[in-house]
Amino acid sequence: MPEPTQGKYVEPEFERDTDYIEDRITRDGEQWPVQPGRYRLVVARACPWANRAIIVRRLLGLEGAISMGICGPTHDADSWTFDLDPEGLDPVLGIPRIKDAYLARFPDYPKGITVPAIVDVPSGEVVTNDFPQITLDLSGEWTELHREGAPQLYPEHLRAEIDEVNKRVYTEVNNGVYRCGFAGTQESYDAAYERLFTALDWLEERLATQRYLVGDTITEADVRLFTTLARFDAVYHGHFKCNRSKLTEMPVLWAYARDLFQTPGFGDTTDFVQIKSHYYEVHRDINPTGVVPAGPDLSGWGTAHGRESLGGRPFGDGTPPGPPPEGERVSPGNNPHVGDDGLISL
């Protein structure tokens, strides 16, 4: 199944398949050079790994340089589909499912059909689904196409520290919630649960005295942590049995998450309805009935967080992005804090 198709159900514990298509789009690339309008970023708002790419593309102002196709929140065992689009076809690629772009390049592609993926529009072939590298390359290789005032999400002088933090956040938190949710034995679940909350306690301590994970501005590290935190109470606490504490019961992380949520590019890319639809409807081995819970109450995401007292500047010397393009806005019905202009309204 494509999500968590980056992984598979393995006894006694969940293992994520990290064998991705490692091609890169680079400024001096021969096969895949950076070119405005050539590529399409295919995402699903429900997927935390894809949500990272949505955020980074928006923060950097790359909407005009790389178009975005949005799959629906649910899928079958075969692939993510473009069921949100008229006639169920992506309007640029003309395909009903992202699997078609994978097979156009690799007719016998044996691995998971995952998002995010970048597709070469002229050929209709997938270029890469290497989600950690995609966002780094959007920051480092697409710089000539960044908007004026785009933030430095992966500044060279902080890269070693960002990489170190990202490694622990990925293994213990981003992937840790899946390790809990797909544990095949009590023993493996107990171990995963302990690792997850040990890491969350570390983050509580780290963020108690600094506004952002690394340095005094938003970086790639904050993007990667945010997409897990945004899904924590809505999905991971109950569906994945990560239930020692809700996010709202971890005061530092809850304030940190609200700070980011209220920052342009973060909350306005968060679709709670699609998030819940995906996890509860697709993971029938965990939730056999497919019933989607009505909660949690989302009103708290708009409350004051007080993180300004720690200093820091969200965009450094840059500026926040403007409103998202009309066709890419999250429906206010799917996130009650989104206004008619697509931005967070508190």
Catalytic residue positions, numbered: 47, 178
* 65, 37 Cβ separation under 8 angstroms: yes
DSSP code at position 339: -
Q: Strand order of the sheet with strand 67-71?
A: 67-71, 39-44, 117-120, 125-128
DSSP state of 173: I
Residues 6+ apart with CB under 8 A from 43: 50, 51, 53, 54, 68, 69, 70, 71, 115, 116
Q: How far apart are the first and last CA of the chain?
A: 37
Note whether 293 and 280 are within 8 A (CB): yes
Cα 256 from Cα 211, distance rounded (Å): 7
Identify residue 53 by its one-letter amino acid code.
A
d(CA 108, CA 30): 25
